[in-house]
Structure 1
Amino acid sequence: MHLMLSFLFSFLVAILITPGVRTLAKRLDIYAYPNHRTVHEGAVPKWGGGSIMLSFVISAAVLYLASPKLFVGEMGLAISLVAGCLVLFLLGSFDDKFDLNCNLKLSVELAVALAVALAGWRFEVLILPGFAEIKLGFFSYPFTMLWIVGVINAVNMVDGLDGLASGIALVVVAVSSGIAALFNNPVVILFAPLLAGALLGFLRYNINPASIFMGDSGSLPLGFLLALLSLRAATISPGRVAVLVPLLLLCLPLTDTTLAIIRRVRRGIHPFHADREHIHHRLVRLGLSQPGAALSMVGLSLIFGILAFLLAQGMHTDFRFLGQLLP
C-alpha cells in the first residue's frame, strides 16, 4: 500500500510541477534549439530533469518521513543513490544552460560512479546462467564504474525523440521492480515506484509534440538511477549479480551507444560528438513518424525487459532449488 501511494504521490507531484519547471526554464533561457543533429522544430524548454528529479526526491523524503522503518538496513544505499542523483542533476543543469565540455562531464560521472561503488552499489561476483561465477576482486570497482557511466551516456544518447528516453526508462524501472521482488532487494522496491511515478507524470508533457524536453538535467541522473536499480534488482545475494539480466534490460540503449562510439571512432571524431545516425534517427528516415519510431523502440525495450524477467525468474527458481539441495 505504501508503495502504491508513493507511486501516485510522485506521479501527481510531477504532473503539478512540470508546468512551473517549464516556465522557469523559459525564464532562465534553457532551450533546445533546432540544429543539424536534432529532429524537432522550434525552440523547446529542456530542463525536464527538474521535474523528474524534484518529484523523485520529494517523494522519497515523504516516504521516509511517513515510514522510516522501510529504510532500515538500506540507508547507506539510499543516501548514496539520492546524493549521486543530485550531483548529476546539477551537472546536467549546468550543461543544459552552458554546454559544458564533455571531458568535464565524464570526469564528474566517473567520480560519482566511484563514490557509489564504494558505498556498496557494485558488481563483485558475476553470476551466469548455470550459476558459473566470475569473481572480479579489485576489478569490481572499474567494472561497476564502466557500467554506471556507460548507462548514463546510453540514456543520454537515446534521448533524441519525444517520449523515447522516458518510455524506455519506464519499462526498465517496471521490470527492475518485478525482478527485485523475486530476489528480495528492498532498496529497488522502495525507489522504483517513486521514479516510475515521476517519469509517468513528466511523460504527460514529453510525448509528441513535447512542450518540454528532459535535457541532460534529466538524462544524466536518470541513466544513473537505471544503472543502479537494474544492478541491484539482479543481485541474487550480496555482491553476486546475475549480470545478463541488467544487460538485457538495457540492451537497446547500450547497443545504440556502442554502435555510435564505434562509428565515431572509425570516422576519427570524438565518441561523444553528437550525430543523426542513432537507431531512432534511422527509423524516422525509413519512413516512421517520430511517435511511431519512439513507440517501436519502447516496444522493443519491453520485449528485452520480458526476456530479462524470464531469465531472472528461471535463475531464481534454480537458485531456490539448489538452496534446498545444499546442506
Structure 2
Amino acid sequence: MPYHLVAFVVAALVVLVTTPIVKKIGLKSGYVDLPNPRKVHSRPMVRLGGISIFLGSLTALMLVWFAGGFGYLPPPSEYEIWGVTFGGLLFFVIGLLDDLFTLSAKSRLVMQLGVATMAWTMGVRIEFFTVPFIEPSLINLGLWSLPVTLVWLVGMTNAINFTDGLDGLAAGISGIAAVVMLITSLFMNQPAAAILAAALAGGALGFLRYNFNPAQIFMGDGGAYFLGFTLAGIGVIGLVKTVTTVAVVLPFLILAVPILDTSTVVANRLLRGQSPFAADKRHLHHRLLDAGLSQRRIVLFIYALTFWVGSIAMAYAGVPWGKVYAVIATLLLVYACWQALKRVVRSKKQLKIELSKTDQPLSDPVSDQDSL
C-alpha cells in the first residue's frame, strides 16, 4: 500500500476542510493579527491556521498507523517517529500559547529547549558527523550530542518562524523542503522519515490554498513552530543518522534558505548589540520588498530559490533524475532573478520620476498673495 501517498493526500484534505472552520472560530473569538509598522498586511487576519496544519499531519500519521503502515518499521524507527510527532505537538502548543497570550522571548526559548531535550531522549538526536577529506571521517559527538541537537532543533524551528513574514512564504518553503526530504528519504531507504515528510508536505501545501497571496488566514507561531521542528526532526532521523558524508550535508542544503537568512539576521542583531529575538525588517523578504518587488513576486522568487537548493541536494544524493531537476530548477531560478531584476530597475526609474516631480520649484507665496 502506498502509505506515503496516503499520508500526503489525507493531510492535504484535512487542512482544506478544517481551515475555513478555524478561520470562523478565530474571527468570532477575536484572535487576529493586527497590522503594525513591522508587518506588511493592512487588515486584521486570523492567526490560528497552524491548528489545521497540525491536525492534518497528525490525522494522516494516525491513519497510516492504524492501517499498519508502521508495521514494517523496526521498533527504533517507530519510536523516532513518535518522538518527532510528540515534539512537534509540544512545539505547536508553545506557538499556539504565544498566538493566544503573547509569551516573552525568554519563556518561549526555555520551553523550546525543554521540549527539544525530551525529543533527544526519545532518539531524535545527532550522534555523529561525517566529515569529508578527514580520517577518520566518522566523528562521534558523545556528550556534545545534546547541545548540537538542541541548536539544530530549536534553531531550525525559529528559522521557519522568521520566514513567516509574507503570505504563503513559510508554508511554501516548508512544503517544498518536505517534498525534497520525502524523495531523498525514500531513495536512502529511510521510510520512517519519509512518512513524516509526506504528512508534513500535504499539510503545508494544502494550507497554501488559503495562505497564498492574498492570504485569508495566517498560520501563526503555532503552525510555524510545528513545521520548523518537524522538518528539523525529519532531517535528524532520516538523513543525519545515515553514516555517509552525503546524508549529513543534505538537511543543511535542503533548508539552506531559512538557515542562511536567519543566521545573517541574528548575526547582524548581535553585532548591533540587540537581542537575537528582536523584531526588525532585515530578512530577505523585507529587503526585497524595499527593493520594490511585490509580495507575490518575492514569494515565488524564494520558492524558486528553495527548489533550487533542494534539487541540488537531490542531485548530490544521487536521486534518479536529480541532475535533471537541478537543471530545471536552475533555469527557473535564472528566470525568477531576471524578472525580479526587471521589476527592481522599473521601480527605481519610477521612484526617480516621482522624486523629480517633488523637486519642482514652488511658487513664491508672497507673489501669490500679491496676485490675489
Distance 1:130 1:310, change over 3 A: farther
Selected match of 1:95 from 95, 98, 104: 98
TM-score by length of 2: 0.81
Distance in structure 2 (CA, Å) of the matches to 1:241 and 1:100: 39
Partner of 1:83 in structure 2? 86
Partner of 1:33 in structure 2? 34
Aligned length: 314
2:40 alignment partner, SS class: coil
Distance in structure 2 (CA, Å) of the matches to 1:239 and 1:22: 45
Partner of 1:116 in structure 2? 119
1:124/1:241 contact within 8 Å kept: no
1:128/1:242 contact within 8 Å kept: no
Partner of 2:315 in structure 1? 310
1:134 alignment partner, SS class: strand
TM-score by length of 1: 0.91
Partner of 1:234 in structure 2? 239
Selected match of 2:270 from 265, 283, 290: 265
- The answer to whether the aligner puts 1:48 opposite 2:49 as a matched pair is yes
2:153/2:233 contact within 8 Å kept: yes
The Cα offsets for residues 270-310 of structure 1, whole Å up to 9 and x where unpaired, read as 11011111100111111111011011111101111111122
Distance in structure 2 (CA, Å) of the matches to 1:101 and 1:292: 33
Distance in structure 1 (CA, Å) of the matches to 2:184 and 2:237: 10
Q: Which moved more, 1:27-36 or 1:272-281?
A: 27-36
Partner of 2:322 in structure 1? none
Partner of 1:297 in structure 2? 302
- The answer to whether the aligner puts 1:149 opposite 2:150 as a matched pair is no
2:129 alignment partner, SS class: strand
Identity %: 36
2:37 alignment partner, SS class: coil
Distance in structure 1 (CA, Å) of the matches to 2:71 and 2:96: 33
1:64/1:71 contact within 8 Å kept: no
Distance in structure 2 (CA, Å) of the matches to 1:240 and 1:115: 27
RMSD of aligned residue pairs (Cα, Å):
1.8
- In the alignment, structure 2 segments of 5+ residues that lack a partner are 320-372
Partner of 1:325 in structure 2? none
Larger RCO of the pair (alpha carbons < 8 Å, separation 6+): 1
Distance in structure 1 (CA, Å) of the matches to 2:245 and 2:310: 20
Distance in structure 1 (CA, Å) of the matches to 2:244 and 2:88: 22
2:242/2:248 contact within 8 Å kept: no
Distance 1:307 1:238, change over 3 A: closer
Distance 1:238 1:112, change over 3 A: farther
Distance in structure 2 (CA, Å) of the matches to 1:94 and 1:7: 27
Partner of 1:104 in structure 2? 107
Q: Which moved more, 1:127-136 or 1:74-83?
A: 127-136
Matches within 5 A, 1:1-20: 1-20=2-21
Distance in structure 1 (CA, Å) of the matches to 2:213 and 2:191: 35
- The answer to whether the aligner puts 1:200 opposite 2:205 as a matched pair is yes
Distance in structure 2 (CA, Å) of the matches to 1:296 and 1:188: 28
Distance in structure 2 (CA, Å) of the matches to 1:183 and 1:235: 11
1:243 alignment partner, SS class: helix
2:213 alignment partner, SS class: coil
Distance in structure 1 (CA, Å) of the matches to 2:244 and 2:310: 22
What amino acid is the match of 1:66? Answer: A
2:130/2:244 contact within 8 Å kept: no
The Cα offsets for residues 226-251 of structure 1, whole Å up to 9 and x where unpaired, read as 10112233236379883221111111
1:180/1:232 contact within 8 Å kept: no
Q: Which moved more, 1:294-303 or 1:242-251?
A: 242-251
The Cα offsets for residues 101-129 of structure 1, whole Å up to 9 and x where unpaired, read as 11111111111111111211111111234
Distance 1:233 1:116, change over 3 A: same
Report the alpha carbon displacement of residue 21 of structure 1 after superposing the two structures with TM.
0.9
The Cα offsets for residues 124-170 of structure 1, whole Å up to 9 and x where unpaired, read as 11123457233211101110110011100100101101111111111
Partner of 2:347 in structure 1? none
- In the alignment, structure 1 segments of 5+ residues that lack a partner are 315-327
2:45/2:217 contact within 8 Å kept: yes
Q: Which moved more, 1:159-168 or 1:1-10?
A: 1-10
- Give the 4+ runs in structure 1 shifted more than 6 A: 238-241
